[in-house]
Structures are given as C-alpha cells and as structure tokens.
Structure 1
Amino acid sequence: MTQNTSAKDAAPSREVRRQTANPVVISDPQAIRALAHEARLEVLEELFASQSTRTATELASRCNLTPSAMSYHLRALEKYGYVERAANEGDGRERRWKAAGDQLVVGTLSDSTAAKNAFLNVQLNAFRERLSAEIARRDADRKAGIEPSPGRAPVLTTGMVFLREEQRDEFVKRVYALVDEYEALADPEERGIDGERLYYMLSFLPEIRSSAP
C-alpha cells in the first residue's frame, strides 16, 4: 500500500510503522485464511500499493487467470472487507475495484497462529517463485552474452547485525523511511497497471535464545 500493506505480526509486506488515515484492520481468523491464496495476495498488493482502481480483467492478466475466476476472488475479498467496488470510469462496461483503505493491518499472532502461518506460507512461496524467475532470467541473459548493469542488486541478501535495542529500533525506522521516500516519488501514471514494479521483502528478526536447561 504508496504500498501500505502492513501488519502487527504477520503482513503482506511490512510491519506497521505509522498511523494512516484509513487502515483496514483484519483479526477474524476466517478473513485471514481468505488471504492464503496467491492470486488474492497479488490483488491486495496491486490495489493497496497503487491506491488506484482496477478491473477484474486487468487483475486477471497479472495473475494468469480468467476474468470470471478473478471476479470470484474479488467477491471473496469484498466479503471480508479487503476491497470494495469503485465508481465506474469511461464507458462503465466493466466494474472497477479498489482497496478498502490505505493500509492493511493483520492482527497479532495471538489471534490465530494457524491462519497467519497459512497466509505467510503463501506469501513466502510467491516470493520464492519471483526469486526463481529472476535467477532464470539472469542465467538466460548470461548465456545470451548480455552484461549485467554495474549497479544490479543481488537476487537475495541475508545477514545479521549486532545492535543494542535502541540501535535496532533506529535501524528499522531508517530502512522503512527509505522505502517510504521512494514510494512517495511514484506519480499516478507510474502506479498504472503497466507501471514498472520492484518487489521486496523485509523482515527484522531479533535473536530468540533458548533458556538454559
């Protein structure tokens, strides 16, 4: 959602870091389970990130589904308050849809751990497929003799830093501030259905030390 898909403990994209004007707060386990579908996750990322309207046909083209199948998923998301029908544009021959708010907040893990784990598995699987597709694309470029750009980012970076609690909070805040800065640069045309997208996944996990026996 700007991409403001967010959550307190489990989220489509990031943890909550600021208050927004119109958050969509989800805590019902059934509503959370409704997210555990790759196409629905893609729809939420698209609608919340763009804050624009889309038709079922436009969304179906991004998810490799038929418009009728996408309409089914949109109605399911509408049932649980994730999306809503928007005012028609142009000739109005096809219904347009939009995010129901400017940020999606999934409740704490104590509400339904099983439901959130199912949702996270779908999210992680979708990102894994994007990673695999990027690896294949880079391998094809290499075989074709295409040189990578000097500033090309690695496919995946993981690591660990040693931080005190106050440093950790500042580190997370600064990373999110950078994301917010670049999200704010996109104009409405860049948020269109054909706009260029750069997917990212952020997770900051403090070490959990087991108690001594």
Structure 2
Amino acid sequence: MKLQSFLAGASLALIASVAAGAASATNLLTDGSFEDGIVGWTFTGNTGYFGVSCGSGAEDGSCYVSEGPVGSDGILSQSFSDTAGDTLDLSGWINGNGASFSHVQYVFDGNLVFDTGNPTPNTGGWTNYAVNVTATGSDTLAVHFRNDPGYSSLDNFSVTDVAGGGAVPEPATWALMISGFFGAGAFLRRRRALTAIA
C-alpha cells in the first residue's frame, strides 16, 4: 500500500513538473500583445495607416495593432537574446480581411521565414501563424505588413525556446527516470505475486 501511495505521488509530481515546464515557456519578445503600445518594438517602413487599438476585439489582452499601409510594407521589429542552436517558435495572430493586395511576413535575421501569401486569407477572425527557426544567440524578428486598400490586425506575437539544440539530460534526471522504471517494475512484480497467493 505504501508503494502504491509513493508511486501515485511520484506520478502526480512528474505530471505537475511537466505542466509547469510547459507553462513556463517565456516569451522572448517585449509586449508581444501591444498592451503598452509598441514598447520594445521599432516601427519603420511605410508609416501609413497604423495604430494600436484597445478595447474589444483583441486576440489576447485588450490591445492589438491595426495596420494597412498602401504601396509598401510597414515593419515592426524587435531584437532579443536567446541560446544559439536552440529551436525557436515564432508565432503571431493575424486577422486579415482578404483585400486585393495584402500580406504579413515574418523575417528572421534578414531571412523571409513566413508569408501569408497575397491576399492575406480572410478567415473571419484571428488565425495563428507559427514557424520554427534556429536561434543564433542574438536575433531579430521583423514583421512586415501591407494592405491595399483595407486593413488587417496583428496581436499576440511570441518567440519561445521550444527545444534545446542537442541538450543531454543531466545525470540526476537519468537516475530519477531509471528509479521510476525500477519502482514501477517492483510494483507490478509484487502485485503478480499477491495475485498468485490469493
């Protein structure tokens, strides 16, 4: 009975630690949901129709970017530090209206890594677009946008480190996993022996 309680407790602790690790993925961007305007972002390119709207309608929080530069791209960019070699998830939410010429692009360290296409699909609501890239240690995400003659909305941008680039588990982690396997094996063996006696 004590072994069962121990295994149940260990299982719950493992589940809690995995959930906490998943929940603790830190956004490497400053204010990716534009709750403080464009703090942390640099705005360049076409400064035509652009603004931060607050109130209802945001994908996350209460604010989002409304954009619709005509003729050329507006660009929001932000630089950040990370761990070289790790896999990063670049993610953003876009609410496009499918105007005649429109797009949103993610440019990572000067390389185009994602394009919604032209026109930006009219999905009738917020759609998440994400792509994985490899970190270099100091990177820049630039979000290019344009919409002739309408507008689109941007919100909830994040860059998270999703996987180490070849991380090897610590010896203590291996010891914990192996002891868990032995514990489960001992529990099953003991249970079989008790069934045979009864």
Is the structural similarity TM-score above 0.5? no
Q: Looking at secondary structure, tell me which structure has more helix per residue.
A: 1
Q: Looking at secondary structure, tell me which structure has more strand per residue.
A: 2
TM class, shorter-length: under 0.3
Give 1 or 2 for the bigger CA radius of gyration: 2
